[in-house]
């Protein structure tokens, strides 16, 4: 093997190693965020002479915290899966992508903090904890969308070739969650502030928001299916 070929092979191996470091670092951040959330979940100390009623009253907060942890785990798992698909398009990296990826990972790292606020803030400050939590979800989703916009737009030199139709589908799939979360955020705002003295309206607020979100998601799925079928027929 000639010296030029050896140097070229070494350069390609070094490049692949550097790209793997970018992806592995991101995976490590996801894993650490999930681990830190679990640390916040603690079982209360149980006295020997506690009655069954007292025991269940002390366990109720743990159940609430576990549900918050489970929902957050699902969200982080969804973000990890979407980030995995995004990284599947990478063939190289640059400063712009690294900066935006770190911004996205910053909001992932904030999940343990936002979950902790839900766990430890009392009912009087629940609205603050809720806004911190939903704000974390919203800005994480926006950061992910911006990462896709950069990769499929200005990052052409670091992205695999993608057809215009597939690019449109990828961008819409990344933008739709922003719309859906915004709908739920508006419903939460109305519940906590506008109709705070009328808790019976909670279902009337969240139900239309959930139905509308479901309808939007279903409509775009059908649209994307037709676009992909058109591509297949065209081939």
* Full domain range(s) for residue 148: 1-121+129-158
190/100 same-domain check? no
29/85 same-domain check? yes
The total number of structural domains that make up the chain:
2
**End position of a domain, from candidates 138, 158, 178:** 158
Please tell me the distance from the alpha carbon of residue 231 to that of residue 123, in angstroms, as a whole number: 53
Please tell me the distance from the alpha carbon of residue 174 to that of residue 168, in angstroms, as a whole number: 10
6/97 same-domain check? yes
- Tens-level pLDDT at each residue, the chain (235 residues): 565 655 555 455 556 767 888 889 999 999 999 888 887 777 666 666 666 666 666 667 777 778 888 888 998 999 999 999 998 888 888 888 999 999 999 999 999 888 888 777 666 667 788 888 888 999 999 999 999 999 988 767 888 888 888 888 889 999 999 988 888 888 877 777 777 777 666 667 778 888 888 888 888 888 888 887 776 765 5
146/177 same-domain check? no
Alpha helices in the chain (DSSP H): 3-39, 52-87, 95-109, 111-120, 126-152, 164-189, 202-234
Q: Is the pTM of this model over 0.85?
A: no
Say how many C-beta atoms besides its own lie within 10 A of residue 191's C-beta.
Answer: 21
Angstrom CA distances, 181 to 152, 175, 202, 224, 233, stand at 23, 10, 17, 20, 35
113/204 same-domain check? no
DSSP state for residue 121 in the 8-state scheme? S
- Torsion 88-93-96-99 (CA) sign: positive
Half-sphere exposure of 28 (CA within 13 A, CB side): 7
Q: Check if the beta carbon of residue 216 is closer than 8 Å to that of residue 180.
A: yes
153/169 same-domain check? no
Please tell me the distance from the alpha carbon of residue 117 to that of residue 233, in angstroms, as a whole number: 51
């Amino acid at each position: 093997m000639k010296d030029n070929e050896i140097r070229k092979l070494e350069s390609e191996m070094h490049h692949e190693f550097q790209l793997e470091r970018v992806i592995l670092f991101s995976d490590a951040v996801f894993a650490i965020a999930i681990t830190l959330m679990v640390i916040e979940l603690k079982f209360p100390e149980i006295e020997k002479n506690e009655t069954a009623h007292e025991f269940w009253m002390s366990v109720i907060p743990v159940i609430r915290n576990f549900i918050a942890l489970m929902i957050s785990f699902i969200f982080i798992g969804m973000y990890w899966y979407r980030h995995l698909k995004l990284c599947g398009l990478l063939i190289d990296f640059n400063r712009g992508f690294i900066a935006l990826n770190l911004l996205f990972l910053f909001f992932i790292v904030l999940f343990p903090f936002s979950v902790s606020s839900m766990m430890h803030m009392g009912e009087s400050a629940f609205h603050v904890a809720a806004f911190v939590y939903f704000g974390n979800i919203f800005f994480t989703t926006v950061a992910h969308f911006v990462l896709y916009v950069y990769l499929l737009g200005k990052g052409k030199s670091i992205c695999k070739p993608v057809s215009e139709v597939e690019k449109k589908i990828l961008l819409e799939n990344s933008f739709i969650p922003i719309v859906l979360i915004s709908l739920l955020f508006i419903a939460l705002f109305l519940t906590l502030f506008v109709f705070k003295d009328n808790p019976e309206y909670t279902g009337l607020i969240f139900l239309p928001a959930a139905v509308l979100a479901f309808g939007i998601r279903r409509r775009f799925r059908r649209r994307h299916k037709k676009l992909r079928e058109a591509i297949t027929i065209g081939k």
